Amino acid sequence: MRADVLSAVGELLLAEGLTDFTIERVARLSGVSKTTIYKWWPSRGALALDGYFHAVEPTLAFPDTGDIRADLTSQLHAFGRLVGETPAGRLLAELIGAAQTDAELAAAYRALYSFERRHIAVARMQRAQASGQLRADVDPQVVVDQLWGAVYHRLLIPDEPITTTFIDALLDNLLDGILTVGH
């Protein structure tokens, strides 16, 4: 039943975004009562985040082929397409936007989504440090901000587009460095 609710939430959010998302509609679509839903999720925002996380988890899976450049590239391409080309981008932007003046939603966002996404990325980078591909003195948490965080920056302040060229440039800049040799 919990899984039924989460799939109904994920489908609804990815099709329509957050505007008309209500616990009433989730109850109708999933066949689970509102009382039960409220027992499991304290608020509409927490339910939305949990459903979203489960819906995108397969898309955002982190490969481990042993080649960190290849694995970061394929994960970031998938992430870029998700936020740049599907309703997930608008949904994430609205959730993050609302979280700026809603402390409960902000806490739920971190607990149900961003903390776990950071953890998955950091774990993959730590294995790349153990295998000698990434410099040992690099803090993988900072890399999260310079790859995924850079994409969120374009999502939330859309001065420039989220394209495959952009994603590839993020990786080239950060993996190889932007200074000329000798500087």
Binding site for a copy of itself (CB under 8 A): 68-69, 93-94, 96-101, 106, 109-110, 114-115, 118, 132-135, 138-139, 141-143, 145-146, 148-154, 156-160, 166, 169-170, 173-180, 183
Nearer to a copy of itself, 69 or 81 (CB): 69
Least distance to a copy of itself from the beta carbon of 93, Å? 5
Least distance to a copy of itself from the beta carbon of 81, Å? 17
d(CA 88, CA 151): 13
Least distance to a copy of itself from the beta carbon of 22, Å? 17
d(CA 52, CA 179): 39
d(CA 148, CA 145): 6
Least distance to a copy of itself from the beta carbon of 160, Å? 5
Nearer to a copy of itself, 32 or 102 (CB): 102
Nearer to a copy of itself, 39 or 183 (CB): 183
Sorted by sequence, the CB contacts under 8 Å of residue 152 that are 6+ apart come out as: 83, 92, 96
Nearer to a copy of itself, 55 or 170 (CB): 170
Least distance to a copy of itself from the beta carbon of 57, Å? 18
Nearer to a copy of itself, 32 or 60 (CB): 60
Sorted by sequence, the CB contacts under 8 Å of residue 51 that are 6+ apart come out as: 5, 6, 7, 8, 9, 10, 12, 13
d(CA 40, CA 34): 10
Sorted by sequence, the CB contacts under 8 Å of residue 5 that are 6+ apart come out as: 26, 30, 32, 37, 40, 47, 51
Residue 108 to residues 4, 20, 43, 53, 147: CA-CA distances in angstroms? 21, 20, 9, 12, 23
Least distance to a copy of itself from the beta carbon of 124, Å? 13
Q: Are 31 and 53 in contact (CB under 8 A)?
A: no
Nearer to a copy of itself, 8 or 53 (CB): 53
